[in-house]
Structure 1
Amino acid sequence: MRSPLKWAGGKKRITSEIANLLPKRGKKRLVEPFVGGGSVFLNLEFDEYLLVDMNKDLINLFNIIKNQPTEFIADAQKFFNGDNNHPEKYYNFRTQFNQSADPYERSLMFLYLNRHGYNGLCRYNKSGGYNVPFGRYKHPYFPKEELEFFSKKAQNATFIQGDFETAFSQLDVNDVVYCDPPYSPINRTSNFTAYAGNSFTDEDQKRLVACAELAQKKNIPTLISNHYVDFTKELYKGATKHKLLQVQRSISQKGKGRIKVKEILALYK
């Protein structure tokens, strides 16, 4: 099942690879410290889910879909009409979103902006303002079925806004952890990891590995995905198992700009 959101770097295409590597025996809860668009949680079967992300708008949206699905879907669908699929309307809604402090209103516009904006990007400036440009799609898709499925699946999930250590601090022996952090850059001169309005540094990548190693000592396995570059090759050398993948990864709108790159799945078990 697809996420209701377009999400750069979403994991729908490699969910089966993730599922094959994640140890499940005796594990009842999936923990994701970087839930993103939610594709992994939506496509893996566990009794419970603990889903964390730094992005406050994302977590607010997920909680509203969980708790008010019928109302939210009806209200959100009103944004998806031809009259709103124009740059002027898009930028007006983006301004309204940035000025709003109401979680429900922001969630409606967050879905609209996500589906009408450029190629699944979620980006904020240093002042916290959403700044993704208009996407120029002919007919933006309204994800009614995806929202309904998400709401049903979310009844067994807890969504929390916070740093990834928030998730690791709540682990128990029945958990298994999948981490999809902002990726280490392939080209360090053109790095972009600030989708939630904050950068994710090399030190953060190292801090994540330290959390995984601590969980490993408690018999809680952690799987981490990332670009396969010199930095991550060294970073994950202590992992129990490694798997390399060729994955289509680009934010280019043009198909010829979507090249395959190497990714790594590193398991600490």
Structure 2
Amino acid sequence: MTKKTRAFLKWAGGKFALVEEIARRLPDADRLVEPFVGAGSVFINTDYPSYLLSDINPDLINLYQTLKHDADHYIRESRKMFVPEWNDKEAYYKARQRFNDTNDQFERAVLFLYMNRHGYNGLCRYNKKGGFNVPFGSYKRPYFPQKEMEFFAEKAQRATFLCADYHTTFAQVQTGDAVYCDPPYLPLSSTASFTSYASGGFNMEAQHTLAECAREAAFKGASVLISNHDTQDARKIYHQADRQEFLMVKRTISQKGNGRKKVNEIFAGYGASR
């Protein structure tokens, strides 16, 4: 990998800093499958003939589908919102309300990018009624990621996007596939907040089930790599993996610059390796 490409979305837990380590552990294959595609850093920084990319967030997958099939129109319309009059608290909340009220998929895709770049810290959060509720971010000049979107749109011609959970995605894994899983991470310690982590529906049971899916896929002839925080729980969950590797990763854990520290990361590998 000569030069890394950044994702066009801000995304909590994005893998831009880790893509070299991930790519180094993924085998050659005709297809890479990602059940937790997120912002797509692994997708855009690897070179497989084809991809199956899924996520449970329908707005994220709708954006990717729109960019794949209607890139020029989408980029042109999105750019209109990256002007000073839209970088305003009142305008942001009006746009957020529009997003929550509309069922028009193109409009939702445009507004999703706008809110991702203008909302607080690039968060993606919904209330119990399904309404997007991230507050205004108050950034001086939000970046319009045109080059990154053009790159994504071109590469997306090799990809199939699927709005589905990991069970459904693993059901489509075939012999010879390479699979990379980036699930919601385990808490770093027993004192870390588990409530917000589990409220998204990915609890400890889901972590164990994902590991079982990985084992079953490897038995069928696929190769699976899972990343997570290196905790005692993670080592127990992945104790039947064919490989466990560990490294230190610098991660931002707060808004302040001194909130960067190194944390332990685990890679669990199932099936053939590179």
Q: Which letter does structure 2 place at the counterpart of 1:202?
A: M
Between 144-153 and 115-124, the greater mean CA deviation after superposition: 115-124
How far does the alpha carbon of each residue in 1:40-86 deviate from its partner, in whole angstroms, 9 at most, with x for none?
A: 00000000000010000000000000000000000000000111112
**Residue pair 2:188, 2:229 contacting (<8 A) in 1 also:** yes
Match of 1:190 in 2: 193
1:114 matched to 2:116? The reply is: yes
**Which of residues 263, 266, 269 in structure 1 aligns to 2:265?**
263
1:31 matched to 2:33? The reply is: yes
Cα RMSD for the two superposed structures: 1.4
Match of 1:16 in 2: 20
Aligned mates of 2:261, 2:128 — CA distance in 1: 29
Aligned mates of 1:97, 1:160 — CA distance in 2: 21
Q: Which letter does structure 2 place at the counterpart of 1:5?
A: L
Runs (5+) with no aligned partner, structure 2: none
**Which of residues 188, 211, 221 in structure 2 aligns to 1:219?**
221
**How many residues matched?**
265
Q: How many Å apart are 1:89 and its aligned residue? A: 1.3
Flag the 1:206–1:173 CA change in 2: closer, same or farther, 3 A: same
Q: How many Å apart are 1:132 and its aligned residue? A: 1.3
TM-score, length-scaled by structure 2: 0.93
Q: How many Å apart are 1:187 and its aligned residue? A: 4.1
Q: Which letter does structure 2 place at the counterpart of 1:8?
A: A
Aligned mates of 2:246, 2:257 — CA distance in 1: 23
Q: What's the secondary structure of 2:122's corresponding residue?
A: coil
Runs (5+) with no aligned partner, structure 1: none
Aligned mates of 2:98, 2:142 — CA distance in 1: 20
Match of 1:4 in 2: 8
Q: How is 1:161-240 mapped onto 2 (pairs within 5 angstroms)?
A: 161-188=163-190, 189-191=192-194, 192-193=196-197, 198-240=200-242
Match of 2:107 in 1: 105
Between 43-52 and 85-94, the greater mean CA deviation after superposition: 85-94
How far does the alpha carbon of each residue in 1:220-246 deviate from its partner, in whole angstroms, 9 at most, with x for none?
A: 110001111121111111111122122
Match of 1:73 in 2: 75
